[in-house]
Structure 1
Amino acid sequence: MSGADTGGWFDALFDRDLSLVLVVLAVIYVAYVLAGVAFGYGLRGQLNSIANLTFYVGVFGMLALALNLHWGYTGLFNIGIVGFMGIGIYVTALVSKPPVAEGGAAQVGGFGLPLGVGILAGVLVAGLFGLLVALPALRLRADYLAIVTVAFSEIIRFTMMSRTFQSVEVPAALGLRADTVGLGGGGGLILNYTDPLEALLRTVFLWEPYLAVLDVVQQTLIPNNPKPVVDGLLYGVMLLVGVFAFYVLLTRLGRSPFGRVLKAIREDEDVANALGKDTDRFKLTAFVLGAALMGFGGILWYSSRGSITPPSFRPNITFFIWIALIIGGAGSNTGSFLGGAIFAGLLYEGPRYVKNLVEAAFELGDAPRNFGEAMAGFASLDPMPFVLYTLDSVSQLRLVIMGAVLVWLMHNRPEGLLGHRKEVAASVGLDRPSRDGTTDASAATDGGETR
């Protein structure tokens, strides 16, 4: 690709898609800040909320982009996303956790290798499992492939819980530092390796300047232990940088000859086969790459936590990512990220944030124990029991809201916000000069001519 072509691609990106992304993010963040100000949220609470929002915008945007490679580009119905996420973080923990002697209270240790090695291992193993799943499963289509992938994710979760792999002795003859490794069983694993943010900052020689910035923040803004707040904000920014890298990678991939074949497979695999394309190889490559990206997303999601347990990898995470993709629109990378941002800000974090705001602004009593007690208050024209019960049940209410939004989308806009965008499948320009000397792309791209 020539320099002019590259410049044109980036110009188009920044003229349209980036502007739309920035506007949507600005609206979400301003809404959070204004709501916090209106309810009297303190600075620390505001910053914590913004850090949580940024984190979930990053992880849902990243994973929606990875899913878009499977479903939006290739038409592969993968609902085993959380299985690849679990493989990524568990392998990273197994490789990078210190051995038991150094790990202290950890149930099981690891091999004690650098975190960068662990992340690379997690991504590669997630891709390898994607290959193992894809080899037999890609001969299946639609719902049959979906059944295989969701079964795979459940196999991974139950393997994590298994006592067989809870703790494994490492033979001394191998000469490794670890004596005992394993998956931790139902108790999960303590992630007592180097914090990923600290590891990154040390790698780029910014750890000492970061500590200096923390001192300034402590003296001027947050006097009481500002590190968790600033860590959360900076980790969220790091995730957004990762999302941008995902976006550029997948956008360039989609515009390449490889990506055009994937879209041809999505539209009609038999036609792509008839044109001489080895569709099985293309689907296999796309599935493996997507699985590796999902593993990387799982690493970034869970590495900032102190521990991981098998219940964290239930299928509901997969369905959340699918909702994010559906909101934005399959087939559009910009739509995938926007769907992730809107899902994170409005459906995932939004209800919980409203609950925190209300509880911070008002002195509320104890919530009723059941729905009957909540409704009984209306008999005396007192809505407070119902309000308290609703706030206390915000997690369940969040799922109801997600379901309602999904049903509305399926009925009114099944293509999502940016789905079904017009795509040029050719590698050369199709613009046709018009009579007045300008170019007219509509006739060539739409397969007809205007009169």
Structure 2
Amino acid sequence: MSRDVPVRCDGGNDSESRDEERANGPTNFLLNGNARPRWLNDILIIGKATVVVYGVFIGLGLAAGLDMNGIVSTLQQVTLLAASFALVVLALNLHWGYTGLFNIGVAGFMAVGAYTMALVTAAPDATFPGLGLPLWVGVLAGLVASALVGFLVALPALRLRADYFAIVTLAAAEVIRLVFNSSALHEFSVLGVELGTGGGQGMSFPNLRNTVSRELLYVGGDPTAGPTLFGRPFMAVGDRLELSPSVVEGWVYTVVLVALVAFAFVVITRIGNSPFGRMLKAIREDELVARSLGKNTDRVKIKVFMLGCVFMGLAGIVWQGRRGYIDPNLFLPIITFYIFIALIIGGSGSNTGSVVGAFLFAGLLFEGPPFVQRIVDATFDLPHPPTVYDGAVALGDLDPMPLLGYAVGELPNLRFVLFGAVLIALMIYRPDGILGHRNEPASPIDLTKERAPREREHAVADGGEEDE
């Protein structure tokens, strides 16, 4: 009795498919996106985006005659900014992409984390004093404060949706910023302990970048001491490339941020594949249906909002706290606007898209125009007329250089026009973002490896193995 072979939809059969996979071997595994594990595919996508951004900056740097130290320093600054964006974009994706919570108060929760860390770690004898506690205590305090503020904001907003929820979060963010900007908190006392945020002047605290990088690089955090086991590879590469110590320290801090982004990526991905994550997506699609199935959607939204605020507070700590100084102007609503652009570019609902969108936005759209301006100014001697009218008048005399010089001088401001052009192009050609079209698996296991029920029946009926 001949054995039936299940026929595929494309006219082939499963045995032919298996023979073809064995013939192609591991090369097919690397080239075929469907054969790769999802995590490997995500790494390759992020790697391609990184290569594109790095290639642009390296090419511009070499064309301008930058030395190795200048190029590596530029790449470090771009990577640091991209990692900072990626961390907070992942948090926003948890709110908006997974749950449908239109949170446009991101900058406010970043401010809560950064200011709490500053108040806890600032020296008691500083101009605007703090508690003088260790750095790790300040970071934990900032995360807890961000979660608590997120809880307080979520409570009155539970019954609101879409635009109304957005208005509440935006108002909360502005209230937070204005509170830190208030003269009432310029200097104040709590239980006899003197504290101060400096109001509009801002406040200083131990430099987060120098503290973290030097503790990891040098024994006891002392630059005059020898390197640690972790710092030896960085010091060796720095010596070989003749990099300055500040560039090496900057890369160490950047690597820490990249590790935090990887941690947030894994945590949020695991959440999305869990039963809790499927509940979030159900709320996003239709909260009434989820509620009718007996789910406590209010409690779920509070939990996910608090968790997202924790990551936003962490982003505020590592991003804006790296200078050892913060002020309320670092947390304007436009920061939230930047985060949303990065998420829209990558694709809402995709964690990989969040990282890719953050890297492309930070590298090509945010840091790219000012870098091009510096390169052109250092390479060419262009005139800089005070107004565009003067450049247009010179153009009438067949002299385009003044208008070109004016355009180059305004590149940092013209990038806002570029933001709008990119968003318009995305809405027309890729409304879901670069990776927003990717399917979100509802099951945490790979169902493509499971055989159809009909195939299992054939195998058992013809003497195949059961329950392999």
Quickly name the TM-score band, shorter chain normalised: 0.7 to 0.9
What's the counterpart of residue 363 of structure 2? 345
What's the counterpart of residue 332 of structure 2? 314
Say yes or no: does 1:304 pair with 2:322. yes
Provide the alpha-carbon RMSD of the alignment: 2.5
Instruction: Specify every segment of 5 or more residues in structure 1 that has no aligned partner in the other structure, as ranges.
Output: 1-10, 173-178, 440-451
What's the counterpart of residue 149 of structure 2? 129
Q: Deviations over 1:85-138 (max 9, x none)?
A: 0111100000011112xx3xxx30100000000000001101110000000112
TM-score if structure 1 supplies the norm length?
0.86
Q: Deviations over 1:270-325 (max 9, x none)?
A: 11111111111111100000011100011010121131111111111101000000
Taking structure 1 as reference, are residues 204 and 135 closer, same or farther at Cα in structure 2, changes over 3 Å only?
farther
Specify the code of the residue in structure 2 equivalent to 1:369.
Answer: P
- The CA distance in 1 between the partners of 2:218 and 2:180, in whole Å, is 31
What's the counterpart of residue 422 of structure 2? 405
Q: CA deviation at 1:358?
A: 1.3
Q: CA deviation at 1:388?
A: 1.7
- The CA distance in 1 between the partners of 2:285 and 2:429, in whole Å, is 23
Taking structure 1 as reference, are residues 280 and 78 closer, same or farther at Cα in structure 2, changes over 3 Å only?
same
Q: CA deviation at 1:253?
A: 0.7
* Matching residue within 170, 173, 191 for 1:150: 170
Matched ranges for 1:253-264 at <5 A: 253-264=271-282
Of all paired residues, the percent bearing the same amino acid is 44
Q: CA deviation at 1:64?
A: 0.9
Instruction: Specify every segment of 5 or more residues in structure 2 that has no aligned partner in the other structure, as ranges.
Output: 1-35, 458-468
Q: CA deviation at 1:239?
A: 1.1
8 Å CA contact 1:73–1:262 kept in 2: the answer is: yes
What's the counterpart of residue 48 of structure 1? 73
What's the counterpart of residue 433 of structure 2? 416
Secondary structure of the equivalent of 1:418?
coil
- The CA distance in 2 between the partners of 1:139 and 1:129, in whole Å, is 18
Secondary structure of the equivalent of 1:236?
helix
Say yes or no: does 1:276 pair with 2:289. no
Matched ranges for 1:161-172 at <5 A: 161-172=181-192
8 Å CA contact 2:107–2:336 kept in 1: the answer is: yes
Matched ranges for 1:68-147 at <5 A: 68-100=93-125, 103=126, 107-147=127-167
8 Å CA contact 2:84–2:315 kept in 1: the answer is: yes
- The CA distance in 1 between the partners of 2:399 and 2:364, in whole Å, is 29
Secondary structure of the equivalent of 2:183?
coil
What's the counterpart of residue 201 of structure 1? 216
Taking structure 1 as reference, are residues 61 and 429 closer, same or farther at Cα in structure 2, changes over 3 Å only?
closer
- The CA distance in 2 between the partners of 1:436 and 1:85, in whole Å, is 54
Taking structure 1 as reference, are residues 311 and 438 closer, same or farther at Cα in structure 2, changes over 3 Å only?
farther
Matched ranges for 1:226-375 at <5 A: 226-365=244-383, 367-375=384-392
What's the counterpart of residue 43 of structure 2? 18
- The CA distance in 2 between the partners of 1:52 and 1:219, in whole Å, is 20
8 Å CA contact 1:97–1:193 kept in 2: the answer is: no
8 Å CA contact 2:213–2:253 kept in 1: the answer is: no
Q: CA deviation at 1:159?
A: 0.9
Instruction: Single out whichever of 411-420 and 317-326 deviates more from structure 2.
Output: 411-420
TM-score if structure 2 supplies the norm length?
0.83
Higher CA-based Rg: 2
What's the counterpart of residue 4 of structure 1? none
Specify the code of the residue in structure 1 equivalent to 2:204.
Answer: I
- The CA distance in 1 between the partners of 2:260 and 2:195, in whole Å, is 30
What's the counterpart of residue 160 of structure 1? 180
Taking structure 1 as reference, are residues 381 and 348 closer, same or farther at Cα in structure 2, changes over 3 Å only?
same
Q: Deviations over 1:180-213 (max 9, x none)?
A: 3111101011133563424652799787416877
Count of residues in Structure 1 that have an aligned counterpart in Structure 2: 415
Specify the code of the residue in structure 2 equivalent to 1:122.
Answer: G
* Matching residue within 186, 189, 200 for 2:200: 186
8 Å CA contact 2:217–2:232 kept in 1: the answer is: no
8 Å CA contact 1:98–1:193 kept in 2: the answer is: no
Specify the code of the residue in structure 1 equivalent to 2:318.
Answer: L
Secondary structure of the equivalent of 1:169?
strand
Q: Deviations over 1:321-366 (max 9, x none)?
A: 000000010111111111111111111111111112212222344x
Say yes or no: does 1:36 pair with 2:61. yes
- The CA distance in 1 between the partners of 2:365 and 2:456, in whole Å, is 45
8 Å CA contact 1:85–1:294 kept in 2: the answer is: yes
- The CA distance in 2 between the partners of 1:428 and 1:342, in whole Å, is 31
